[in-house]
Amino acid sequence: MSAPLVSLACLPAIALTSYALGRPIVRGFGVGRGDALTSAVWSVAVGLVAAGLTLTGLGLLGLLYAPWIGVGTLLACFGGIGQLVAACDPTRRRVVSNDWPRGPLDHEPDAPWPEPPTWLKRGAMILAALACAGSLVTALAPPTAGDALCYHLELPKAFLADHALGHLPDSENSTYPLLVEMWFLWGLALDGGVAAQLVHWGLGMLLILASVVLATPIVERPWAWIVGAIVALVPGVTNQMTAPLNDVALAAFTTLALAAWWRGTVGGESRRWFVLAGVAGGAALSTKYLAALFAVAVGVAAAWSIVCDRRRCRVIVEGTAVVLTVALSVSGVWYLRAARHRGNPVYPFFSEVLGSDAAGAHETLPESKSPLGRNPVGLATAAWHVTMHPERFGGRGHQLGALFLAAVPGIVLTRRLRGLGMISATALAYCVAWYLLRQNVRFLLPVVPSLAVIVVWVWMEMSRFPRLARWMAGGAFAMILAVGAAVPVLRCRHQLAVAAGFETRDAYLARHEPTWQAAQVCNELFGPGAHLLSQDHRAYHFRCRVTRESVYRRRTRYDERIADPATVAHALAQAGFTHVLLAENLSDRGIQYDPTLSRLVDAQSAAGQCDSLVRLVEYRFADADGALRRYRLLWLRYEP
Amino acid sequence: MIMPVLPPDPQVREARERLQRARRLVADALFGRHRPAERAPRVRPWQAWLFAIWVLGVTAFYAAAMAGLL
């Protein structure tokens, strides 16, 4: 019963620690004064970046020890409580507001439009709260998401076990930008996989609040809350918040970078905003290569802005220089690390050009990643196809829902709004680049807050519609939002028992995680000393070292060196492996495994050499994607 | 001796409130800030209806697509 509470307690501990680290920095920059929400959001975001960089530094020095991380968190957490008390103290706030100059947005907003009606505010907030609560319940269950178990959690687990941020040659993802994985490592050090998963849920909350911060200077705070609610009701966002992945984190930091960039360029506020834009941009670049695409989109929008108004040229050029310098300083460590280990700073992309060891194995622009092709007709119809058939673009779970396709075209009926053009141009440029490069729907999350601002402006302008037309469109929007809240609430029903502590995590994993049974056997019999060669990439639940067979085969071509089928176990044992995990998909649904290793092992068994291949466990597992999989865990009993 | 506090005369209070309302009305008429949304031109009805039909159409198609009917 206490396990979920302990995991849940780690989330405020991490948030408070981040706040403690970030608030002095944000106060030092003197931005967001007089606006408690903006100040708090930026404090947590900057603190997270500082903590992530600290963990990265410790990892590079080989000093990643869970007890140290725990003690450091505890101490900083108390500091965060003190900072929070100080921020909430009205006497100190008054002193601050008297001493410091106020920014243009700090005064009471003089909105040229009415506030949203109460029923809209309350309705949107209730739906958003339901969606967040549903995703929180799901996030309290042990992690089972495929990519999370392959590397988002597996890598920090391995780093923590080695106390160092080492290079893992048979894990392609180990040289990606891994800032988010450093935060997951933080959660793993404090508690375990659930706490790490909750970190991503917390980053989803940061995305929602960052959307409010982005929208505030454009549509004013009361409507900005509606923007936040819309973001919280996007199915792809609530789905991502339930698993330790990195797309929501990326969206949170691109949104903050865009918000700070807006303040500096369009808002004409302090140039210090560019430093914060650089910090957020650097965090985004440290999360996923996709952030570079967002930077290009912002650059295109900025260039367009200069064409429209030459007077902005100077501030934009200066701002760009500051942002790039800070962003590269924050994120550079990951790109240097990849260049050192792989010979390619953006490994495995552009391997065709940069000639790293992934050449041939990876194509930067494969046709399979562009279901709509790359032509003008596909571009024009992309929004429709992505909305109606998200399963073609990475899965229904990551979809954006119908709201944006329904509402965004209404922008042609609205009046111009200061600042909306910049974020609209950025979103448009990003979507075009997305279409040309990788048509995966979850890669669209960075533009969700911008699209939500457009949607809210369209809603505001609907007050100029005839009443019946307004009510009809409004009713449809209400239905879409209600579905957005219902999806995460209904999805969490399977996790409710384990989240509430009525079901053990082991029992839950036995029902939901295909590799759990094999991992249990391996852990109990051999502990962390084993070395597993696995056809399944889900390695997180194994306590021992796990090597992916497909990557190992590509690197060593071991299969080509085995001439005699009877010597398979011998060859693998000689290479240092103690076990193999064979995985086969017995159905035509879900991912299929390369059968090379299964074929080799079966060939040895057929040759009558079964003594050196001891079958420890064999079982079938009906997965949630409809696939029926067979797993075999074999011990390589080789005595030299 | 302390003077007891007399309850306000309801008639006087009502008259004062009426006066305040009238004063606010006049001040708002003369100096009040007109909200652009209120004085903005209405969207042409055919455009508004076209948008409403688009929204309903997308919602209906989306529901059908998610139900596997498309």
Q: Which of A10, A25, A12 is nearest to A330 (CA)?
A: A25
Determine what percent of chain A falls in helix, strand and coil, rounding each to the nearest 5. Answer: 70, 5, 25
Provide, rounded to the nearest whole percent, the portion of chain A with pLDDT above 70. Answer: 94
Q: Which of A90, A82, A103 is nearest to A20 (CA)?
A: A82
pLDDT at B23: 76
> pLDDT grade, residue A358 (50/70/90)?
low
Q: Cα distance from A623 to chain B (closest Cα, Å)?
A: 21
**Averaged pLDDT, A316-320:** 95
Pick among A115, A393, A405 to test the B interface (most B CBs inside 10 A): A405
Q: Is the pLDDT of residue A96 over 50?
A: no
Q: How many residues does chain A have?
A: 640
> pLDDT grade, residue A308 (50/70/90)?
confident
Place of tokens 């084993």: A530
> pLDDT grade, residue A639 (50/70/90)?
low
Query: Does the beta-carbon distance from A465 to B42 stay under 8 Å?
Result: yes
Q: How many residues does chain B have?
A: 70
Query: Does the beta-carbon distance from A405 to B58 stay under 8 Å?
Result: yes
Q: Give the count of beta carbons closer than 10 Å to the beta carbon of residue A307.
A: 10
- Structure token digits, residue A159: 């780093």
pLDDT at A113: 85
Query: Does the beta-carbon distance from A387 to B45 stay under 8 Å?
Result: no
Listed as own residue / partner, the contacts of B39-43 with beta carbons closer than 8 Å and 24 or more positions apart are B40/A415, B40/A464, B41/A464, B42/A464, B42/A465, B42/A466, B43/A413, B43/A461, B43/A464, B43/A465
**Averaged pLDDT, A534-562:** 91
B37 interaction partners in chain A (CB closer than 8 Å): 112-114, 460, 463-464
Query: Does the beta-carbon distance from A402 to B48 stay under 8 Å?
Result: no
Of B47, B48, B56, the CB nearest to A476: B56
A407 interaction partners in chain B (CB closer than 8 Å): 55
Cβ pair A522, A530 in contact under 8 A: yes
A407–chain B Cβ distance below 8 A for any pair: yes
Strands (E), A541-627: 545-548, 579-585, 613-622
Place of tokens 């929070």: A84
Task: Please report, for chain B, the start and end positions of each structural domain, with discontinuous segments joined by +.
Answer: 10-66
Of B48, B61, B70, the CB nearest to A465: B48
**Where would I find the H helices in A389-544?**
403-407, 420-437, 448-461, 467-491, 496-499, 505-512, 516-526
- pLDDT tens digits, B25-45: 666 655 544 444 456 788 999
A460 interaction partners in chain B (CB closer than 8 Å): 37
Q: Is the pLDDT of residue A181 over 70?
A: yes
Chain B residues within 8 angstroms (CB to CB) of chain A: 35-37, 40-43, 45, 47-49, 51-52, 54-56, 58-59, 61-62, 65-66, 70
A489–chain B Cβ distance below 8 A for any pair: no
Burial letters A586-623, b for 16+ CB under 10 A, else e: eeeeeeebeeebbebbbebbeeebeebbeeeeeeebeb
Q: Is the pLDDT of residue A311 over 60?
A: yes
DSSP state of A150: I
Nearest-Cα residue of chain B relative to residue A408: B55
In angstroms, the CA A429 to CA A296 distance is 8
- pLDDT tens digits, A484-501: 999 999 999 999 999 999
A557–chain B Cβ distance below 8 A for any pair: no
- What are the beta bridge partners of residue A531? A545
Q: Which of A419, A407, A470, A404 is nearest to B42 (CA)?
A: A470
B70 interaction partners in chain A (CB closer than 8 Å): 388
Pick among A381, A413, A416, A471 to test the B interface (most B CBs inside 10 A): A413
Burial letters A85-110, b for 16+ CB under 10 A, else e: eebeeeeeeeeeeeeeeebebbeeee
- pLDDT tens digits, A117-129: 999 999 999 999 9
- What are the beta bridge partners of residue A515? none
Tell me the one-letter amino acid at A338. Answer: A
Pick among B35, B51, B70 to test the A interface (most A CBs inside 10 A): B51
Instruction: Calculate the CA A412 to chain-centre distance.
Output: 32
Query: Does the beta-carbon distance from B45 to A466 stay under 8 Å?
Result: yes
**Where would I find the H helices in A233-246?**
235-240
- Structure token digits, residue A575: 């290479």
Average pLDDT, chain A: 91
Query: Does the beta-carbon distance from A465 to B43 stay under 8 Å?
Result: yes
Task: Please report, for chain A, the start and end positions of each structural domain, with discontinuous segments joined by +.
Answer: 2-491, 514-636
Cβ pair A424, A308 in contact under 8 A: no
Is A606 or A318 the better-scoring residue by pLDDT?
A318
Of B36, B42, B70, the CB nearest to A388: B70
Nearest-Cα residue of chain A relative to residue B42: A464
Residue B26: its H or E element:
helix B10-31
